[in-house]
A and B are shown apart, each in its own frame.
Chain A
Amino acid sequence: MEYLDFEIPVKELEAQIEKAKILQQESDTDMSKNIDELTARLVKTRKDISKKLTAWQRVQLSRHPNRPYTLSYINAMTEGNFLELFGDRGVKDDKAMIGGWGMLGKESVMFIGQQKGVNTKMRQYRNFGMANPEGYRKALRLMKMAEKFNKPVVALIDTPGAFPGLEAEERGQGEAIARNIMEMARLKVPIICIIIGEGASGGAIGIGVGDRVLMLENTWYSVISPESCSSILWRSWDYKEVAAEALKLTAKDMLKNKLIDGVISEPLGGAHVNPIEMFETVRKTILSELRKLKKLPPEKLVEQRINKFCEMGVFNG
């Protein structure tokens, strides 16, 4: 387990509990009272930390090295009943964007989502979750397939941005994202989008137009990352904390501004502390939302979706 700077008190308590457990085993002395007390303190510490989380700390949690990624969610939620599909039928298969058919109980669902890597080698293989145009086109191909077979789409979003490379430009990154947004707006099946980590700008909204757009508690979603915002508006990398506050990028703020439809609670301490619990919460949320959405005829669904996005924005006059 890795720890962020503000998680250090947790780390110390966990180490003490671990020590007490070992001592109990080795010396056959009853440490249970001690362990209970430490565990209570651990819970309290976690509660105290999560109560005081700043916007920047939530950004850090959204990138926590132990945070579960898209495929972990899908594999857990479908209990391994997942048929992954590959390729955009034009250029290649983008490893930063995954997708395929999964079963949520009796419900057949088309999953799409950005995938980050779990170690250095895999991070490179997955291009750090930054999709190229072919990734967005692969996602669109799969969404169209879902529409053809009248099955819902679930998009799990976790990206530091669409890849800003030379070939991405040559192959039309802007066009690929634009087309996805337009086609998602009028797709005739239910779409649920969930930000499970980072929701960076065009890279996120490129698979982010849904009947329900939900954010996990410790994620961020905005037009730019706090670091880049700091660099552009303050002309320095040192204002990322200030930028994170100013951008109002947390789940709570996004809901308050009516730019998302709901917040999904994370286990105490964050998704990485108890991934199993997290997967189960997300699975239940998807199923309960799908039950509601499936009652709507496709025309109504599309109309409501388009109207929802058309109402976003604040102005005078």
Chain B
Amino acid sequence: MGWFKRSKDGITTNTVDKKETPEGLWHKCPKCKVIVSVDDNKANLYVCANCGHHGRINAKEYFQILFDDGKFTELDADLVSQDPLKFEDTKKYADRLKSTIAKTGLNDAVSSAYGKLNGKDITIAAMNFNFIGGSMGSVVGEKIARAMDHSLKHKIPFLMISKSGGARMMEAAFSLMQMAKTSAKIALLDDAKIPYISLLTDPTTGGVTASFAMLGDINIAEPNALIGFAGPRVVKETIGKELPEGFQTSEFLVEKGFLDFIVERKDLKKKITQFLTAVE
């Protein structure tokens, strides 16, 4: 027996009368579901203060965190994809691009910039996962290659922050060849003895793992990031069994010998400086 009795059936509240929590004030950790204010989340570098979950952030946020005083000069911001194959699946790639550009305010899945990191000159390219899954097409490959050219020309270190589902299917073999383009540039950086740091963040898979992301003088990763060549679903289908706990995480890759160390976001700038100081 309830304390209250419904006197009228089917009571509804009009949308305009509903009292909603205002958008953009609170952030809920996708892992432990603890809610904090957006400002607190930003102050903690988008890392959950409760469980340590490293939230997915875009290039601009990394630039703010890493460049001294958040000051940097962006490179090749205007490059946009051309849809060379007039690709169409359930949707036209051209339309997909248009709506993604409008939605994200970005021109493609990578942004690059140069500036100073603890007083040291550096070029950084970082991926935007919300742009078609951070996938690599011609623009991503070209922007990374040009950012590396900037490092080559000015003889300054290069930092790549990967966060990608892999190659972009809608650009088919053009995407595939970006693996060769970026890796060839790394060979040039290597020959010129320019330090290259590869930071892998959640998630880094496919053609990105199989090219520039794994070719750093040091390969480092944020905690608990998914890193692999084949995605976990594909591996599971291949072996026909459940995957072991922690498979394809940063911690797994350190154990297997493919990462130099794991770095928490708050220590990122310090660790990069430490490495650059050691090799300069």
Task: Name A residues whose Cβ lies closer than 8 Å to a Cβ of B.
Answer: 162-166, 168-175, 177-179, 181-183, 185-186, 201-202, 205-206, 208-209, 221-224, 229, 232-234, 239, 243, 246-249, 254, 257, 259, 305-306, 309-310, 312-317
The reply to whether the CB of B76 lies closer than 8 angstroms to some CB of chain A is yes
The number of A-B residue pairs with CB atoms under 8 Å apart is 191
Q: How many B residues have CB within 8 A of the partner chain?
A: 63
Q: Is the CB of A182 within 8 A of B183?
A: yes
- Known contacts A182-B184, A209-B180, A223-B207; decide if A254 and B79 are in contact (CB<8 Å): no
Q: Is the CB of B177 within 8 A of A173?
A: no
Q: Is the CB of B82 within 8 A of A316?
A: yes
- Contact partner of A310 among B84, B185, B190, CB < 8 A? B185
Determine the chain A residues whose CB is within 8 A of the CB of B173 once the complex forms.
Answer: 221-223, 247-249, 254, 257, 259
- CA–CA, A67 and B158, complex, Å: 46
Chain A nearest CB, measured from B20 CB (Å): 33
Write the nearest CB–CB distance from A208 to chain B, whole angstroms. Answer: 8
Known: A178-B212, A202-B207, A246-B89. A317 touches B179 (CB 8 A): no
Give the residue name and chain of the A residue nearest to B93 (CB).
A246
Q: A173-B229, A248-B173 are in contact. Are A178 and B256 (CB under 8 A)?
A: no
Task: Give the residues from 193 to 247 in chain B that come closer than 8 angstroms, CB to CB, to chain A.
Answer: 206-207, 209-215, 228-230, 234-235, 238-239, 243-244, 247
Contact A317 B84 (CB under 8 A): no
Do the beta carbons of B230 and A309 come within 8 Å of each other?
A: no
Q: B123: CB under 8 A from chain A?
A: no
**Does B274 count as interface, using CB distance less than 8 angstroms?**
no
Give the chain A neighbours of B176 by CB distance below 8 A.
Answer: 201-202, 205, 221-223
Q: Which residues of B contact A168 (CB under 8 A)?
A: 229-230
- Could you tell me the distance between the alpha carbons of A175 and B235 in the complex, rounded to whole angstroms? 17
Closest CB of chain A to B124's CB: distance in Å? Answer: 20
Do B184 and A259 have beta carbons less than 8 Å apart?
A: no
Partner of A174, one of B79, B213, B235: B213
User: In this complex, what residue of A is CB-closest to B107?
Assistant: A317
- B280 within 8 A of partner (CB): no
Query: Which B residues lie within 8 Å of A166 (CB)?
Result: 235, 238-239, 243-244, 247
B187 contacts A by Cβ under 8 Å: yes
CB contacts (< 8 Å) of A163 on chain B: these are 238
Contact B229–A164 (Cβ < 8 Å)? yes
Binds A, one of B22-30, B48-56, B139-147: B139-147
List 14 other contacts, CB 8 Å, given A205-B179, A233-B89, A306-B187.
A173-B229, A173-B230, A174-B210, A174-B213, A178-B215, A185-B183, A185-B184, A205-B180, A209-B184, A247-B172, A259-B177, A309-B180, A313-B141, A313-B174
